[in-house]
Structure 1
C-alpha cells in the first residue's frame, strides 16, 4: 500500500534507486520507492555488469558486496587478440597491480538484474519495505509553507489502484536516461549525441577462443571496432561490438536479433562462436550528456543515468551510479536528522557532477576508439586506434577503477594540517588488530561498515612512548569539550561521529599505553602500515577525519583538537 507520507520518495527501481532506498533505510530514514514498470519488465532492461574495486568498497558500506560475490564471476585476468593472436597490452599490465591498493583487487561481473534482486531482497528482509512496481510518477508540487517539513507532494498512479499523493521532504530521480523527474524539474542535459551505435548481447555461448573464461577479453578488428568479450554470472557470456559505418549502412533501421547474432559470430573470427541462447540484447546510440544540476529547487535530487549518460566503453555506468548513491545517502540522511548545515547537501551536486563531467570527457575519446575511430588529438600524433585506446586507458586507469576518484576542496574537504594525504581522496585501507584475538580487522570495516552514516575520527597514536602525554591531554579535552570556542556545544555533534584509536605495536591494556582508557575503540597497527599509508609520523601521531563515504576529509596534530572542532563547526548544525 502506498503511504501518505515519507521522508524521501525515490522514483526508479534500478540499481541506483534501490541502493539509495536501502542506504537511507539503514539509517532510519522513511523511504518509498516507485517503479512504473512491472518487475519482470524492469529487470529485462539495461544490463550493467562490471564493477570495479572502489565500487565494491562502497557496496560494503551497504552490506551487499559479500552476497554479490557469492553469485558473481570475479577475475583478475584478461586477454587481447588481434588477427587471432594473443597480444600483450601494457594497459592491463598496469591496472591489475594498481588494484592491489584495495583488498577488493579484482573485477566483478554480475548482471544488473542479479544485483537488483539482491538490493531489493535486502530492502525487504531487513527493513520490511518493498518496491511499489507499476506505480507511475505523474507530477509533483513544492510548498515551503508547510510546518511539518513535508514540502513536496508527489502524485503517482497505478492502473488498478488509481491515483495517490505522497507528501515527502525530498524527491530523488533515479529513473534512467529518460528521467521524468528531471523533465518535470526543468533540468536540461548538456552534451552531444554521437553517430556511434553499439550492440551488446548476453547468453549461453560456445567458442574455441583460447581462455574464454578470463575476466574479459577484447578483439581488435577492422570490421566491428574493439570487440568486447566478458564472462558473466551463471553460464552466460557477453559479446559486444560497434556498428561501424559499413554496418550502419547495411542495417539502416538497426539489426534484428538474428542479424545481431550473425554479426556477433562474424566479429569473433577467426575464432568460432555458437550462440546457444540469447538472454538479452540491445543496439543503442552513444550519448554523452550531463544534467545542468543534480540538485534542483532544494528538494529534488538526480542520480545515476537520470543525471548523466555515456557509453559503456570503460564500463562506468553502474560504477558511477553506485558512487552517486553512496555520496548522496549520508548527506541526505544526515540532513534529515538535522546534523548538517545546508551547504553539506549542496556538495552532492558539486562533487558528483564534477566527476560526471570528467567521465564524459574521457568517454568522448574512449567511445571513438572503441568504434574504430582515432580521436583527433591522437590522430594528430600519428597514433593508431589501438595506440590511442591504450593511451586513453592508461591516462585514466585510476579514475576508471574508482580508486583515484577525488573531490575538490570544499567545506567537506579541507587541506590537512597533519598526515600527507590529499583531502577529498579515498582513505587507505590496512589490516589492524583489536585487543585479544589474532584475527585481523580491516580499517575500512571501521570507517565504512561500522560508520552507518557517521564520520570517523581516527586518533593515530603512533608510538605511545612518544605520544602518551599528548593522548592523555587529548582524552581530557574530548571528555570536557575543550577547545571548541565560546558557545559551541560539541556534545550535540557526538551522535554524528565515532572515535577510534590506532596505535603502532600493541599493548596488554589501554591503561598501560595511555594511563587510562583509549579514545574510542582501540586497534593495533602492529607493523605501522596504516600510519605509513596515511602519512602519519609515528613519533607525533595525528587526528584524522574520514567522511561517512570513506573519503579522507581533514587532519590535525594531536595537540590541535581545536582545529578539528573548527572543521566540524562549518559542517554540523
Structure 2
C-alpha cells in the first residue's frame, strides 16, 4: 500500500452503503478506495439488518448482487400474528404481501447483514479491488485551487502501518451513526432520544409456535411489546422484543445475556421456545435523526446510517441505505466523468433527505407503538397500541416496502407530456418478449441487459405500428442523433405492441436499440401509453420515471437532457 494515493472517490465505511456504492462506481469505470477502521472479523461478528424489501432487490439488480443474495437468504412470502396464544387474522405484517405483487420480487428476503456484506465484498473484489481494513480517517481538507480535480486530501491512520495520504475528487461518509466524516465536516444531525429499549437475539431457536417457518410472525403481548419473529438464513431465526416499563423496572441495573434469553422465552408464552445456539444479541436504545445535509462543500457526501438513524421496527435500515447508494451511484459517476451539471448531484440531497425525513416521521410512531405505548395524537381513538401499529403500517405500506418511494418535481423529474404516470416514481415492470424465443422477459431485464447502473433508458413505445409507423419514421433520425450526442450515457429500447417476425417488419426499418414485443399491450397500458399514439419514455438509471413525451416531440427530450448536461455536451 502506498503512503499516498489518488482515487476518484474515497469511501469511508465498508458496510452496505460503502460497498454497494463502490461496486456501482466500479461498473461505471470510476475508481474508489474503501476503508474501514474495523477489521473484517469484527464486522462479521454482528447480526444487524436482516430483511430486504422488493424495491431494494430491484435496485440491486444492475449491480449484479441480487441473485447471489437470493441464493443465501430465506424467501418469505407470508406471516402470522398471535394474541394470547391464538392466531389473529387480519392485522399484521401479512398485509404487505398484497402490495409487493407490484414487483416480480413479490416476497421479502431475510439475510443477516454479515452474510449480505460477504456478497457485496465478493463483488467488490471481483472488480479487482480490496477494502483497506484497519484504516481510519483522521482528518481531511479541501483545496479548490488545484486544477487536477483531486480537491480532497484525507489523512488516514493504521495502528501498525502508520499514516497515508489519499487525494480524491469526492469523499463519501458511509461510516455509520458515529460517522467521522459527518463529524469532521461539521454536518449536524439532531438526534431525538427516546426512553425505548429493545432486545434482538439471533441463533438456532426451537419453538412449537405454528407458522414459525413462514418468514415472519408478530406476537402481541402485555409486557414485551409487539414481539418480532423472523426466519433467517441457514438454520437461524431472530426474536426481538421491547424492554417495556415493566421490564425496565425488573432490571434496574441493566439486563444480562441470560436474562435477555429468559425474557425471550417468556415473551412467546404459551408457546415454548429454546435457544439452542446464540449467534448474536443486542440491547439498544431507540433514537431517530436525519443529518442536515447529505452533501456539503460540493465534494463531501453522506449516506446510510451516517445520514439517518432510526429503529429497526419496520426493517428500514439497510433498505434505506440501498436507496441512498443506488440514488447516488449514477449521479456521482456522472459527476466524475463530467456528464452532468452540478445540479444533478445536488438532487442526491434533496431526494434522499426528503425520503429519510418521511422515514423518521413513520419510525417515531412505529417505535412508540412497538414498545407498547400510544402516541398522543392517537389517545382519543380508544385503540390498543397493536391496533394502531397495524394502522400505521398499512397507511405507509407502499413506502415501507420501497415501491412507493418517490421524489418531488426537479430538474430530473419533469412534467410528463405523454403518459398517465407521475414522474419521480418507480417505473412499472412488465413481461415482454424478444424476437424468436417464446419465453417472456421482464422489462427491467430488457432495459438493463448491459447491467450498467449509470445509463439512462429511452424507451420508444412504438404502439401498434400499423397506426404509429409514420410518426415513428419521422422521429427516427432525431433519436439517433441524440444517441450520438451522449455516447455511453444513454441506451435505447424499442417496444412494439403485438408481435412480428422482426423489428424491421414491424417498423419498416431498424429499431432504436434492442427491440422487444409487448404481445398483449400490457406494458403500454402500465405506462399509460395509447397503442394508437405511442410515446417516448425517459427512465433514470435507478428505474425512476424522469420524463415522457409523444413520438413526434423528440425536441422536448433534447430540452430535458440539456438541463442536465454541460453545454459543451449538449445535443
Please give the secondary structure, in 2, of the residue aligned with 1:169.
strand
Q: Is residue 528 from structure 1 mapped to residue 521 from structure 2 by the alignment?
A: yes
1:195-344 correspondence runs (5 A): 195-344=195-344
Cα drift, residue 77 of structure 1? 1.0
Question: 1:487 — aligned with what?
Answer: none
Question: 2:506 — aligned with what?
Answer: 513
Are the equivalent residues in 2 in contact too, given 1:46–1:112 (CA < 8 A)? yes
Q: Distance in 2 between matches of 1:571 and 1:275?
A: 56
Please give the secondary structure, in 2, of the residue aligned with 1:20.
helix
Are the equivalent residues in 2 in contact too, given 1:448–1:549 (CA < 8 A)? no
The 3 A distance-change label for structure 1 pair 312 and 448 is farther
Q: Deviations over 1:250-288 (max 9, x none)?
A: 223421111111111111111111111111110111111
Cα drift, residue 369 of structure 1? 0.5
Question: 1:571 — aligned with what?
Answer: 564
Are the equivalent residues in 2 in contact too, given 1:63–1:449 (CA < 8 A)? no
Could you tell me which runs of 5 or more consecutive residues in structure 1 were left unpaired when the two chains were aligned.
482-489
Which stretch shows the higher mean deviation, 436-445 or 403-412? 436-445
Cα drift, residue 360 of structure 1? 0.4
Q: Deviations over 1:477-530 (max 9, x none)?
A: 22355xxxxxxxx73324211111001011112222212111111000011110
Q: Deviations over 1:25-59 (max 9, x none)?
A: 11111000000011111222351000100001011
Please give the secondary structure, in 2, of the residue aligned with 1:324.
helix
Are the equivalent residues in 2 in contact too, given 1:293–1:353 (CA < 8 A)? yes
Please give the secondary structure, in 2, of the residue aligned with 1:241.
strand
Q: Distance in 2 between matches of 1:449 and 1:46?
A: 34
Cα drift, residue 116 of structure 1? 0.4
The 3 A distance-change label for structure 1 pair 237 and 39 is same
Question: 2:404 — aligned with what?
Answer: 404
The 3 A distance-change label for structure 1 pair 448 and 373 is farther
Q: Distance in 1 between matches of 2:429 and 2:557?
A: 22
Please give the secondary structure, in 2, of the residue aligned with 1:6.
strand
Q: Distance in 1 between matches of 2:29 and 2:467?
A: 42
Are the equivalent residues in 1 in contact too, given 2:463–2:524 (CA < 8 A)? yes
Q: Distance in 1 between matches of 2:367 and 2:530?
A: 44
Cα drift, residue 68 of structure 1? 0.7
The 3 A distance-change label for structure 1 pair 45 and 182 is farther
Q: Distance in 2 between matches of 1:284 and 1:449?
A: 43
Please give the secondary structure, in 2, of the residue aligned with 1:403.
coil
Cα drift, residue 448 of structure 1? 4.1
Aligned residue pairs total 564
Q: Distance in 2 between matches of 1:325 and 1:254?
A: 37
Q: TM-score, structure 1 length as denominator? A: 0.97
The 3 A distance-change label for structure 1 pair 347 and 59 is same
1:18-417 correspondence runs (5 A): 18-45=19-46, 47-125=48-126, 127-417=127-417
Q: Deviations over 1:113-155 (max 9, x none)?
A: 0000011011112x11011111111110100011110000011
Cα drift, residue 449 of structure 1? 5.2
Q: Distance in 1 between matches of 2:282 and 2:143?
A: 42
Are the equivalent residues in 2 in contact too, given 1:60–1:449 (CA < 8 A)? no
Q: Distance in 2 between matches of 1:567 and 1:403?
A: 25
Cα drift, residue 350 of structure 1? 0.4
Question: 1:485 — aligned with what?
Answer: none
Please give the secondary structure, in 2, of the residue aligned with 1:167.
strand
Question: 2:531 — aligned with what?
Answer: 538
Q: Distance in 1 between matches of 2:264 and 2:252?
A: 18
Are the equivalent residues in 2 in contact too, given 1:493–1:572 (CA < 8 A)? no
Cα drift, residue 92 of structure 1? 4.1
The 3 A distance-change label for structure 1 pair 271 and 440 is same
Cα drift, residue 62 of structure 1? 0.8
Q: TM-score, structure 2 length as denominator? A: 0.97
Please give the secondary structure, in 1, of the residue aligned with 2:398.
helix
Q: Distance in 2 between matches of 1:521 and 1:449?
A: 10
Could you tell me which runs of 5 or more consecutive residues in structure 2 were left unpaired when the two chains were aligned.
567-571
Question: 1:486 — aligned with what?
Answer: none
Q: Is residue 557 from structure 1 mapped to residue 550 from structure 2 by the alignment?
A: yes
Q: Distance in 1 between matches of 2:123 and 2:488?
A: 26
Q: Deviations over 1:429-471 (max 9, x none)?
A: 0111111111222111133453431100000000000000111
Which stretch shows the higher mean deviation, 373-382 or 157-166? 373-382
The 3 A distance-change label for structure 1 pair 253 and 143 is farther
Cα drift, residue 376 of structure 1? 1.4
Question: 2:569 — aligned with what?
Answer: none
Are the equivalent residues in 1 in contact too, given 2:17–2:322 (CA < 8 A)? yes
Are the equivalent residues in 2 in contact too, given 1:89–1:390 (CA < 8 A)? no
Question: 1:459 — aligned with what?
Answer: 460
Are the equivalent residues in 2 in contact too, given 1:111–1:232 (CA < 8 A)? yes
Q: Deviations over 1:178-218 (max 9, x none)?
A: 00100000011124111100000100111111121111001
Please give the secondary structure, in 2, of the residue aligned with 1:164.
strand
Q: Distance in 1 between matches of 2:479 and 2:357?
A: 41
Which stretch shows the higher mean deviation, 472-481 or 242-251? 472-481
Question: 1:484 — aligned with what?
Answer: none
